[in-house]
A = this chain, B = another copy of it.
Amino acid sequence: MTSAVARDGQSGGGAATSRSLTARRIAELAGGELRGEGDVEVTGVAPIERAVAGTVTFLGVAKYAPSLATSGASVVLVTPALADTEGPVAARVVVANPQEALLSLLPHLYVPAPRRPGIDPTVRFGRGAQVGREVEIGPYVVIGDEAVIGDRARIGASVVIGAGVTVGEDVQLFPHVTLYPGTSLGARVIIHAGARIGSDGFGYVFARGAHQKIPHVGRCVIESDVEIGANTTIDRGSIDDTVVGAGTKIDNLVQVAHNVRIGRLCLVMSQVGISGSARIGDGAIIAGQAGIQGHHTIGAGARIGGQAGVLGDVPAGETWSGYPARPHRESLRSSAALFKLSGMIKRLEKLLGDDA
């Protein structure tokens, strides 16, 4: 094993390093009550069954209480009800919601890799491209003509940004992202590795014996504070734009077709497919692998169950599931009825004289 010569090596996603906290400091940060040794130190977090010395864990539900007896954790965040659970931890911090308290510690324990502003010498700029201040652009990035990169943007290795694209301030693009021409990203957008934004939609007219491609001249507009998962694809609009509203979060491997409009603060989970020209209202939540047929509207605050097949409009605030999707209680009733049916179908056939 030989050590390679260190060059500048931006890899487009730095590793976090950890620092330590005492149990006393944890109690202060979590707003909890300290029991035990205030001076014991931790440098990381861990789940109760796999925690080792030097970590802080949490215990929020009785189901996991027996694990405390064998946990190696030095500190446990624990509810008042479970505060006396037996276990060899050096310190306990009693708080109403241990899991949330643990999450609040993370920024204090794990320090993100320091920013390294700078543009790698291999970055290729098109004609008239503009770049803001304190940006960080990794090796082998290609930026098209007239593209605009906002202040403090971080762009990982091998990202390709098309002509005329706008990238807002404090945007983070992980490696291998492709932004097609006509894409616009607001501020603080995060896009994970391999996502494709602004690709042509799937639109053809059958004529002269072949599927003729419909030109796509709409844009793809990603508003501020959106996060987009790895390998997700969002097509540009055909005539209209495709829009993802501010604060919406999209998971991995999601498909958003042309002309779709997703509102603000939505959650779209992995492998969901949203067909052309569908409208998703503010705050809607769409669970994994669900499919939304084209041209329908999901109302604000609606929830769509995992693997649901939505073939019509869903009213605001309602929860729908199943295929074809119906209000969740109806879907549950249908599933239960079907399950019972399989036990009575023979007798029903007999009753109706079908027992041939």
Inter-chain contact B253/A253, CB cutoff 8 Å = yes
Inter-chain contact A182/B15, CB cutoff 8 Å = yes
Compute how far the CA of A102 lies from the CA of B218 in the bound complex, rounded to whole angstroms.
14
Q: Given the complex, which residues of B lie within 8 Å of A2, measured CB to CB? A: 130-133
Compute how far the CA of A176 lies from the CA of B231 in the bound complex, rounded to whole angstroms.
12
Q: Given the complex, which residues of B lie within 8 Å of A64, measured CB to CB? A: none
A115 within 8 A of B: no
Q: Given the complex, which residues of B lie within 8 Å of A146, measured CB to CB? A: 15
Compute how far the CA of A289 lies from the CA of B310 in the bound complex, rounded to whole angstroms.
12
Query: What sequence of 0s and 1s flags, for each residue 191-233 of chain A, a beta carbon within 8 Å of any chain B beta carbon?
Result: 0111010011010110000110111010000000101011101
Compute how far the CA of A257 lies from the CA of B269 in the bound complex, rounded to whole angstroms.
10
A281 within 8 A of B: no
Inter-chain contact A334/B330, CB cutoff 8 Å = no
Q: A174-B178, A210-B265 are in contact. Are A233 and B253 (CB under 8 A)?
A: yes
Kindly report how many copies of this chain are found in the complex they form together: 3
Inter-chain contact A142/B131, CB cutoff 8 Å = no
* Interface-lining segment among A27-35, A87-95, A152-160: A152-160
A196's nearest neighbour on chain B, judged by CB, is B230
Inter-chain contact A139/B142, CB cutoff 8 Å = yes
Compute how far the CA of A4 lies from the CA of B340 in the bound complex, rounded to whole angstroms.
69
Q: A128-B3, A131-B1 are in contact. Are A289 and B291 (CB under 8 A)?
A: yes
A202's nearest neighbour on chain B, judged by CB, is B251
Inter-chain contact A15/B163, CB cutoff 8 Å = yes
* Interface-lining segment among A78-86, A119-127, A312-320: A119-127
Inter-chain contact B291/A273, CB cutoff 8 Å = no
A89-118 residues with Cβ-Cβ distance < 8 A to B are: 100, 102-103, 106-107, 109-110, 113
Q: A13-B181, A306-B309 are in contact. Are A1 and B249 (CB under 8 A)?
A: no
Q: Given the complex, which residues of B lie within 8 Å of A202, measured CB to CB? A: 229, 249, 251-252, 267, 269-270
Using CB atoms and an 8 Å cutoff, list the residues of chain A in contact with chain B: 1-16, 18, 44-47, 50, 100, 102-103, 106-107, 109-110, 113, 124-133, 138-140, 142-148, 151, 156-158, 160-164, 174-176, 178, 180-182, 190, 192-194, 196, 199-200, 202, 204-205, 210-211, 213-215, 217, 225, 227, 229-231, 233, 235, 239-240, 247, 249, 251-253, 255, 257, 265, 267, 269-271, 273, 275, 288-289, 291, 293, 306-307, 309, 322-324, 326, 330, 333-345, 347-349, 351-352, 354
Closest 7 CB pairs of A and B: A9-B126, A11-B144, A15-B181, A6-B127, A196-B230, A178-B193, A160-B175
**A–B Cβ pairs within 8 angstroms, 25 of them:** A1-B151, A2-B133, A6-B127, A6-B129, A9-B145, A11-B160, A11-B163, A46-B239, A46-B240, A103-B205, A142-B158, A158-B176, A174-B178, A175-B178, A178-B193, A194-B196, A202-B252, A210-B225, A233-B270, A271-B291, A288-B291, A324-B335, A337-B342, A344-B354, A348-B352
